[in-house]
């Protein structure tokens, strides 16, 4: 079996993971998904098969299960690892911190350990703009920005993850690591065969808006209208998930060309801020549906305005987001309608 292009993708059935599988296959890589489907759906694998017209390799393994994960490394010879598998719900992480620390930290440690043991040199870690924490008066953040304390265990697991990586690369293991700090990935693949599939009630704005438009949720509550932003609502950097997926391919390709042992961090965003009201209006325009929404109180821990400094992603990875927020809204809406018709 050719060892040249195999990439281990943990959490490859999840939202960003599944979109990344598409881009990897379309760029000549051979991804192997490790996912135990605790937070994803098997239907994503079917969708991936249809989009890529290929057989998707999946091993149903929990990344925290040391011996089961090791067996995957023994079975295949990887040139890279993309480690997505982790929990990401901020509120839940406050309720169940140990669940977050165990899954997000142990999973990472296992992957790093096997990268070293099996000589897998190229490693991409899913990080988040949440690592920047609560900053005073700075809306655009570059990678040079100092981290502030995280406002929830979830964010803390990403900060600790980056710290573990920093310490890990102090020894010459030959493992090169790229942490991608995602801003707000949204939208769906243009085929509507894969997309965001939150289990239970969604927490993030896009699926909530889409489900409200579809009538699945009664009303959207806009969390606060008294922020010092263009229209009083929070501003975020919404980046199309297929562009985020593409950043992983560019990341692996860049890592392959580097030598040594090191860790780099790169923002993955558009560099543009969009308010909640702007998202609502775009959804209304595209769907032709009047959304039922109202202003509510601020959500605790919310950051007023944050968007990515994008110079480093352009320079280092030759990556930038090509799709607009409008396209993301269109694709999210197409995906939601397809789910309704299922």
Q: Which residues in this chain contact ligand UD1 in the complex, by CB under 6 A?
A: 88, 90, 128, 130, 155, 184, 203-205, 208, 220-223, 234, 236, 276, 299, 301-302
For residue 108, the minimal CB distance to ligand UD1 (Å) is: 16
For residue 52, the minimal CB distance to ligand UD1 (Å) is: 26
Give the count of beta carbons closer than 10 Å to the beta carbon of residue 71. Answer: 12
For residue 294, the minimal CB distance to ligand UD1 (Å) is: 10
For residue 328, the minimal CB distance to ligand UD1 (Å) is: 12
Phi/psi-derived region of residue 215, left when phi > 0, alpha when psi is between -120 and 50, beta in every other case: left
Using the structure block, give the residue that is written with the tokens 């057989």. 55
For residue 178, the minimal CB distance to ligand UD1 (Å) is: 18
Q: Which is nearer to ligand UD1, 45 or 222 (CB)?
A: 222
Tokens at residue 190, please? 């243009």
Residue 132 in 3-state DSSP? helix
Question: 79: which residues sit within 8 A by CB, 6+ positions away?
Answer: 3, 4, 5, 6, 7, 120, 121, 122, 256
End-to-end CA distance of the chain: 38
Q: Which is nearer to ligand UD1, 122 or 126 (CB)?
A: 126
Q: Phi and psi at residue 324, in whole multiples of 5°? A: -90, 165
Q: Which is nearer to ligand UD1, 78 or 293 (CB)?
A: 293
Tokens at residue 327, please? 């396209």
Q: Which is nearer to ligand UD1, 114 or 183 (CB)?
A: 183
Annotated active-site residue in 15, 154, 182, 307: 154
For residue 276, the minimal CB distance to ligand UD1 (Å) is: 5
For residue 233, the minimal CB distance to ligand UD1 (Å) is: 7
Cα angle value 251/189/284 (rounded, 5°): 125
Half-sphere exposure of 12 (CA within 13 A, CB side): 31
Tokens at residue 145, please? 């920005």
Q: 209, 331, 200: which is closest to 277 by C-alpha?
A: 209
Q: Is 21 exposed, middle or buried (0-12, 13-18, 19+ CB in 10 A)?
A: buried
Q: Which is nearer to ligand UD1, 8 or 152 (CB)?
A: 152
Dihedral angle of Cα 159, 325, 18, 126, to the nearest 10 degrees = -10
CA dist 18 and 113 (Å) reads 24
Tokens at residue 30, please? 């051979």
Q: Which is nearer to ligand UD1, 90 or 252 (CB)?
A: 90
Q: Which is nearer to ligand UD1, 79 or 197 (CB)?
A: 197
Q: Which residue is nearest to ligand UD1 (CB)?
A: 234
CA dist 264 and 258 (Å) reads 11
Examine the residue annotation and report whether 66 is marked as an active-site residue of this protein.
no
Catalytic residues: 154
């Amino acid at each position: 079996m050719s060892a040249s292009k195999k990439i281990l993708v943990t959490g490859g059935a999840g939202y960003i993971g599944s979109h990344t599988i598409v881009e990897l296959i379309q760029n000549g890589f051979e991804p192997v998904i490790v996912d135990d489907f605790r937070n994803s759906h098997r239907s994503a694998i079917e969708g991936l098969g249809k989009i890529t017209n290929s057989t998707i390799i999946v091993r149903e393994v929990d990344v925290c299960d040391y011996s089961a994960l090791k067996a995957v490394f023994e079975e295949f010879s990887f040139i890279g690892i993309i480690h997505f598998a982790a929990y990401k719900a901020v509120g839940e992480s406050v309720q169940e911190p140990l669940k977050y620390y165990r899954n997000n930290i142990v999973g990472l440690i296992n992957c790093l350990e096997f990268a070293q043991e099996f000589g897998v040199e190229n490693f991409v870690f899913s990080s988040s703009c949440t690592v920047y924490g609560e900053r005073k008066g700075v809306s655009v953040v570059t990678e040079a920005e100092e981290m502030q304390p995280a406002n929830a265990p979830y964010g803390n697991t990403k900060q600790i993850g980056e710290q573990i990586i920093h310490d890990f690369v102090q020894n010459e293991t030959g493992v090169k690591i790229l942490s991608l700090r995602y801003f707000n990935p949204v939208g769906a693949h243009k085929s509507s065969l894969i997309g965001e599939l939150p289990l239970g009630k969604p927490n993030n704005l896009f699926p909530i808006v889409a489900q409200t438009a579809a009538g699945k949720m009664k009303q959207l509550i806009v969390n606060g209208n008294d922020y010092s932003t263009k229209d009083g609502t929070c501003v975020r950097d919404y980046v199309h998930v297929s562009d985020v997926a593409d950043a992983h391919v560019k990341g692996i390709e860049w890592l392959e060309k580097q030598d040594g042992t090191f860790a780099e961090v790169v923002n993955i965003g558009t560099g543009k801020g969009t308010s909640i009201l702007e998202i609502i209006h775009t959804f209304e325009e595209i769907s032709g549906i009047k959304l039922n929404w109202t202003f509510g109180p601020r959500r605790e821990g919310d950051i007023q305005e944050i968007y990515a400094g994008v110079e480093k992603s352009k320079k280092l990875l030759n990556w930038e987001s090509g799709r607009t927020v409008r396209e993301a809204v269109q694709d999210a809406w197409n995906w939601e309608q397809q789910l309704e018709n299922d």
